[in-house]
Structure 1
Amino acid sequence: MRSFSTPRFPRSMLSMATALAIGFTASAVQAEDYDLPRLLVIGTPGTSSGSFASTNGWAPVLQNETGTVARIVPEDSETQRYRRLTDRRDITMSSVSAAEMRFQVEGIGAYAGAKPVAQRVVWHHNDTPWGFVVAGDSDIKTMEDLKKGGVRVAQGAFSPPMTTAVQEALPAYLGLSDQQTDELLEFVPASSYVENCRSVVEGKADVAYCAPISSVLSEMEGAPGGIRWLNMDLDNKEAWDGFLEYRPMVVPTEISMGVSTAKGVDGLASNFLYAAPADADEDFAYNMAKWFHKSFDDYKDTHGLATRMDVEIFRDYLDRSPLPVHAGTVRYLKEIDVWTEQDEAWNQEAIAKMDRWIEARQAALKEARDKRVEASHNNEEFMAIFNKHTEGLESFRSRL
């Protein structure tokens, strides 16, 4: 993990909590006078999600320390949560996966006809590690061994991203052509996530794509023979270039959480972020970033995923992320010396890229309105207009 000095909230300054509760008035904790909103509305995935649970974990701490009431709004529909953040503006900040934000910005799928609005990252929320697992007594020891042939790969038919990960991203990581994939790999459909993972200890598949934080992996680790994880070498740039071609927003990383057999193994992470529209008040983003950082020790134990909001983890994510960070957050990160000149260059590139997508999509919607064409991803006439305006634009993908 990248080494740097991380300022912490001195215990001697705990008396400042009183000033914070009054609304930051003349508080030494703030670089300038600023009152956080009395009500902070945060959109998250549904009530069964870790994002919802972990946000509910730190929200009471925020209220105790600042007087701001955080209302957490669970919204299972990603498109609806996006509209509430960017169009209706009845939520202030949203917990969203980096992959979903790419869909929102580039107008992929149902977002094609939605109002395009530039967004910015306010803080890192959480990350889910993923990797390829085999039975403990499997002859498959490395990723290269998957090219020996006759390998059965569990395919989560219930999830398009998981199907893409194993049917397209995995062969690309291995450098296999379509013909070689057909010859060497056999895809075994699984109707649920649990069935997908258990297939390797039940002898139904040789390898499965799983998240080591899942409870089913704990069961599998305790099964006769146990399990092993295949190392996805972080230094193998050619292999990762292939994988990211199909799963562009995942981040290659050393797995540090979940079952013990996965820790220390190179795999990948799917990141969730707290995001806001680009035009969100800079002082709001600055003060949220400052609170997330300085109060980390106060809220980190409220939920397991809250530990992933550490500034060090955010710092590591910045080395890979292709998404622009809010100006207020940048200002704070500069203050604490964890924002570099290279970060600034990358951020400006990301802003320019996002602006190009937003401008192109706005032009597509305008042409559609002028021609009275329904703006829908199900409308071929609109999609022809959409594709004309967005053709040639570079897609977002994690940096290696």
Structure 2
Amino acid sequence: MFTTYPKYLLGSILAFGSFVAAVGAQAQELPKSMTWGAYDVGSSGYAEASAIADAFSRKFDTRIRIQPSGSSIGRLQPLVHGRTDYAFLATEAFFASEAIYDFASRKWGPQNLCALAGRPASGGLVTAADADIHSVSELKGKRVAYVAGNPSINVKLDALLAFGGLSGADVEAISFPTYASAMSSLAEGKADATFTVTTPSQMYELAESPRGIRWLDIPPDDAAGWKKMGTVAPIFSPFAESVGAGLTKEHPVNMVAYRYPMVVVRCDLDDKDAYAFIKALDETYDVYKDATSVMPRWELSQSGVPPLDVPFHDGAIRYLKEKGVWSEDAQAWNDKRMARLEALKTAWKGAVQEGKDMSDEAFDTLWQAQRTEAINKLD
């Protein structure tokens, strides 16, 4: 039996039904509760994760618990073991996918990690002006400040040295106990160059010191240099920075952009979940974009394009295509990055089999050699 309604009432019923369906569909896009991994409380990564979590909660009524950790292992273990599905990470995502540094032991190996998005952050090679260094290649034989136990900084240094055709063996590498002491070493005359972001107090002190400050230019059109840098760490893109010590809007310097933080997931995360997360990240942008001075960089036109430390997840790519953000060049980059990940996973299996009776030290030597061989075969 069918009931006949007046046209105006029928329209209201249909509209209400559409509204309920839309709300139901929206509510089902994100789970009712999630656990995210992040850097320690007080870090910018934690602050940004908190701002986005608050936006998700307001718009979608999703409860989010953030699990902070001060170590790369502490942030990755919950993710790879399924205790968190999303983690706001930095360069440790690259390390874990490549099985290097903390993740080179036999209990790790190349991890199957993908990204949904990542905010660009800038950094570069800074030198004391009186060291008379004007290009990366001129760092040969100079004192370069590394940080003990900080592979995130050191791999960036190695990559930027590679841009100029150098390695750590070509410079006088000096290890400092902390990041702060490495940065201070330039003004104190203990080193001539290091890698850093542009705004720490130590950089302003260097600029005002008798030594002065100079940021080395990383030309975006030097294809050979970028290729060399990408072999060491394919995580950078060109970035003209105008904010920081010794920089002005009128005189920016070509540096590099890397991603911190990135939303990293296991590559086997269901496509619909990855799609729902990045869609929510996009739809709540206006809610969180003013939370800190750098939050506007989470706009998908910046955070949803490569390069990142790991490949993009297919679910994220589907949404980025719908938004017109994803390009053929982005897909080409992602295909190449995924091929590198798969090649390293295959090489790891061979290394584990060949080195099953080796000491940890001997196995590490074997793995580094096979990793390099696998990467070189991709070119």
Q: Does the pair score TM above 0.5? A: yes
Aligned residue runs from structure 1 range 1-400, under 5 A = 26-27=21-22, 34-87=28-81, 89-97=82-90, 99-111=91-103, 112-114=106-108, 117-124=111-118, 126-135=119-128, 138=130, 140=132, 142-143=134-135, 146=138, 151-157=142-148, 159-163=150-154, 166=157, 168-169=158-159, 171-175=161-165, 181=170, 186-223=172-209, 227-255=213-241, 257-259=243-245, 261=247, 264-272=252-260, 273-315=262-304, 317-318=305-306, 320-321=307-308, 323-359=310-346, 361=348, 378=360, 380=362, 392-394=373-375
TM-score (norm 1): 0.73
- Deviation, structure 1 residue 211: 1.4
Stretches of structure 2 that go unaligned for 5 or more consecutive residues are 1-15
Does the residue aligned with 1:46 lie in a helix, a strand or coil? coil
TM-score (norm 2): 0.77
In 1, are the aligned partners of 2:125 and 2:196 still within 8 Å (CA)? yes
* Cα 1:139/1:390, change in 2 over 3 Å: closer
Instruction: For 2:167 and 2:347, locate their aligned partners in 1 and report how far apart those are by CA, in whole Å.
Output: 34
Letter in 2 for 1:255: E
Stretches of structure 1 that go unaligned for 5 or more consecutive residues are 1-18
* Cα 1:36/1:231, change in 2 over 3 Å: same
* Cα 1:338/1:216, change in 2 over 3 Å: same
Partner of 2:12: none
- Deviation, structure 1 residue 314: 2.1
In 2, are the aligned partners of 1:172 and 1:242 still within 8 Å (CA)? yes
- Deviation, structure 1 residue 151: 4.3
Instruction: For 2:372 and 2:136, locate their aligned partners in 1 and report how far apart those are by CA, in whole Å.
Output: 36
* Cα 1:141/1:311, change in 2 over 3 Å: same
* Cα 1:281/1:388, change in 2 over 3 Å: same
Work out the number of aligned pairs and report it: 357
In 1, are the aligned partners of 2:137 and 2:165 still within 8 Å (CA)? no
* Cα 1:94/1:256, change in 2 over 3 Å: farther
In 1, are the aligned partners of 2:258 and 2:308 still within 8 Å (CA)? no
Of 231-240 and 169-178, deviating more is 169-178
Instruction: For 2:213 and 2:40, locate their aligned partners in 1 and report how far apart those are by CA, in whole Å.
Output: 31
Letter in 2 for 1:159: N
1:91-136 residue CA offsets vs partner (Å, 9 max, x unmatched): 1101222x42232223234434227652221111x34322122345
* Cα 1:259/1:289, change in 2 over 3 Å: farther
- Deviation, structure 1 residue 309: 1.1
**Larger of the two Rg values belongs to structure:** 2
Instruction: For 1:150 and 1:278, locate their aligned partners in 2 and report how far apart those are by CA, in whole Å.
Output: 42
Of 323-332 and 186-195, deviating more is 186-195
RMSD over aligned CA atoms reads: 4.0
Does the residue aligned with 2:22 lie in a helix, a strand or coil? coil
- Deviation, structure 1 residue 41: 0.8
* Cα 1:116/1:338, change in 2 over 3 Å: same
* Cα 1:229/1:342, change in 2 over 3 Å: closer
1:201-254 residue CA offsets vs partner (Å, 9 max, x unmatched): 334433333211323324444556853322221222223333444444343422
Letter in 2 for 1:143: S
In 1, are the aligned partners of 2:94 and 2:309 still within 8 Å (CA)? no
